[in-house]
Amino acid sequence: MFVHNKRLQYTVRVAAPNPGLANLLLEQFGGPQGELAAACRYFTQAVGEDDPGRKDLLFDIATEELSHLEIIGSIVAMLNKGAKGQLAEAVESEAELYRSLTGGGNDSHTTALLYGGGPALTNSAGVPWTAAYIDTIGEPTADLRSNIAAEARAKIVYERLINVTDDPGIKEALGFLMTREIAHQKSFEKALHSIQPNFPQGKLPGVPEFTNVYYNMSSGNDARGPWNDGADWKFIEDPQPAVDGGDGLATVDVSADDIEVLKAMAYRTASDMRTDPTTGAELGAGQA
């Protein structure tokens, strides 16, 4: 059960309308790193979670992300207040209205015209939100790592948004949201390490002869570090195909009947290397 409290988790104070900034903030409303994606990701994980502690954690954070969606949506709506009225009532000339909507140098005119100045479930480029942003796999040791990365990406987007506004009230609200991403990362990491062991993810171990091998697959200016050097690693300087010792060719066992059919198909579709017929491309280029 959800019960909505009409007061925001963090007070929104917007100094003045700014459609361009509103459009940029849509990245955290309907974008891949935004609050709706986070809320849906954690909510679906919580529903499928059997561990009572993780279930409670995921429901708590999912619900908080919905409150963050409300904060971002409210900021967008406040920033679009002037444009909303001007669009609805046509109080400005065409040129003046267009200039006011595009003052941020982005596509704010597109989202304002399509959605009437309200917060739209799109990213800042107008791309609609999609459930494809939700990358839950149903294995907690994998999902918690994905959650940590998602919160980290969202924090970076908030940092960038803070850098493009001088509005002190918006800076404070975005700073709060950015900080909560840090808190959620800590919670998810604690939950991850409460599962021991948690690496490798899932149940099956890796194949021993390949688990601690580093293949140098890009030659030139090779770098060595803890990711490929030391006692934990076997470094293969010049890896060749078929590291399993085979010939690297794909094979399949088929029945005798299929072999005859495949031979017939190969004969029918074989290329004649001796011919060089005039093609449609050549005819189209005016060649006789």
Number of C-beta neighbours around residue 173 at 10 A = 25
Q: Is 60 annotated as a binding residue?
A: yes
Q: Is 92 annotated as a binding residue?
A: no
Q: Which two tokens stand for residue 64?
A: 């908080």
Q: Which long-range contacts (CB under 8 A, 24 or more apart) does 94-102 make?
A: 100/19, 101/19, 101/20, 102/20
- Identify the CA nearest to 204 among candidates 267, 257, 266, 141: 141
Q: CA 151 to CA 147: how far, in whole Å? A: 6
Q: Is 193 annotated as a binding residue?
A: no
Q: Is 216 annotated as a binding residue?
A: yes
Q: CA 285 to CA 288: how far, in whole Å? A: 9
Task: Name the strand (E) or helix (H) holding 235.
Answer: strand 234-236
Q: Is 229 annotated as a binding residue?
A: no
Q: CA 179 to CA 140: how far, in whole Å? A: 24
Residue 26, SS3 per DSSP: coil
Residues paired with residue 214 on neighbouring β-strands, in sequence order:
235
Q: Is 272 annotated as a binding residue?
A: no
Q: Is 218 annotated as a binding residue?
A: yes
For tokens 């790592």, what's the residue? 145
Q: Which two tokens stand for residue 47?
A: 């529903």
Q: Is 220 annotated as a binding residue?
A: yes
Q: Is 151 annotated as a binding residue?
A: yes
Number of C-beta neighbours around residue 243 at 10 A = 13
3-state secondary structure 116-177: CCCCCCECCCCCECCHHHCCCCCCHHHHHHHHHHHHHHHHHHHHHHHCCCCCHHHHHHHHHH
Q: Which residues are annotated binding-site positions for Mn(2+)?
A: 35, 65, 68, 151, 184
Q: Which residues are annotated binding-site positions?
A: 35, 56, 60, 65, 68, 151, 184, 216, 218, 220
Q: Which residues are annotated binding-site positions for Ca(2+)?
A: 56, 60, 216, 218, 220
